[in-house]
Amino acid sequence: MSTQHAERKVLITGASSGIGLATARLLTSMGHEVWGTAREVQRLPAMERFHPIRIDLNDTTSIRSGFQQAEREAGEISVLINNAGSVINGPLEALAAECLQSQMETLFLGPLELMRLALPGMRRRNTGIIINVTSLAGRFPIPFNAGYSSAKAALSVATECLCLELTGTDIRVVDLQPGDIATDILRRTRMLRGPVCEAYEPNRGQSRMAEEEKFSKAPEPGVAAHVILDLLRNGSPAPVVTVGSFFEARLAPFAGRLLPRRAIQGAMRYLYGLGRQTSWPALLERKVVKWRT
């Protein structure tokens, strides 16, 4: 069996649902040993080759003890998949410091700590794979999800920094950017309430309805799980990989590289039901005039 198809010792966060659970099921079915984490360990599945670990990404002590337990049981962690996610929905004006801190800890600072813990062993063995599940929301920020989008963008940038820093080694680092995937993240979203939030209606309500509609048509988590499996099998994976519908995973990133930011914002307003009184022909006509000046 070639090295790239050999059994892996995988640590994956957020393994109780969504992409994490689908990935854990797929990898264990292919013979890999998976240490899956969740804040509430009782929510983790019971299955062959799966080892439940409690990690609270908002608690550095929990992160360190959970990683040490996984490494002790596994002997080594050859694959780290930072996947866990959470969303706090509300206007930026209503996001108190503790809300932003919570989002940054779960989505950025916690994953950074796990990378710091995994890298010494990987460097010693000169092999390993780190897959950071960021989001296309880091490129195309979602209205009323500023904390989530900002943290995912930060993790994406840190992933590329690490990829450059590991030049000359056999450690691979991948920024996996899903679009909408049919997980339960919308159901688990913490919705902020109060007068400030009400001041942003109807925009917020329209945005939320658009999110729900988009998620109702989104691909299942297994699509992302199979992409992750392919990344483990690929001896030289691309540094940035997108996954989702054809529009989100292919067309949107391509358009994002070509179009000016004002046009991107116009498209986002349209997609999330904001300012639909502006028609696409009128928008494009204004852009043509702008481009010609």
Give the end-to-end CA distance of the chain in Å, rounded to a whole number.
61
- What is d(CA 8, CA 49) in angstroms, rounded to the nearest whole number? 11
The position carrying tokens 């990344």 is: 231
Q: Are residues 232 and 177 in the same domain?
A: yes
Q: Which domain holds residue 241?
A: 3-258
Q: What is the pTM of this model?
A: 0.90
Q: Are residues 266 and 162 in the same domain?
A: no
Q: Are residues 208 and 156 in the same domain?
A: yes
- What is d(CA 192, CA 206) in angstroms, rounded to the nearest whole number? 15
Catalytic residue annotation: 148
Nearest to 179 by CA among 145, 137, 208: 137
How much is the pLDDT for 284?
43
- What is d(CA 145, CA 156) in angstroms, rounded to the nearest whole number? 17
Q: What does the pLDDT average to over 67-94?
A: 97
How much is the pLDDT for 276?
55
Q: Are residues 108 and 212 in the same domain?
A: yes
Q: Are residues 267 and 192 in the same domain?
A: no
- The total of structural domains in the chain comes to 2
Residue 240: both structure tokens together? 């940035």
- What is d(CA 102, CA 162) in angstroms, rounded to the nearest whole number? 23
Q: Are residues 127 and 198 in the same domain?
A: yes
pLDDT tens sequence across 82-138: 999 999 999 999 999 999 999 999 999 999 999 999 999 999 999 999 999 999 999
HEC per residue, 195-219: HHHHCCCCHHHHHHHHHHHHHHCCC
Q: Are residues 242 and 187 in the same domain?
A: yes
Alpha helices in the chain (DSSP H): 18-29, 60-74, 97-104, 110-125, 146-165, 185-188, 195-198, 203-216, 221-233, 246, 252-258, 261-271, 280-292
- What is d(CA 76, CA 122) in angstroms, rounded to the nearest whole number? 9
pLDDT tens sequence across 36-52: 999 999 999 999 999 99
How much is the pLDDT for 283?
42
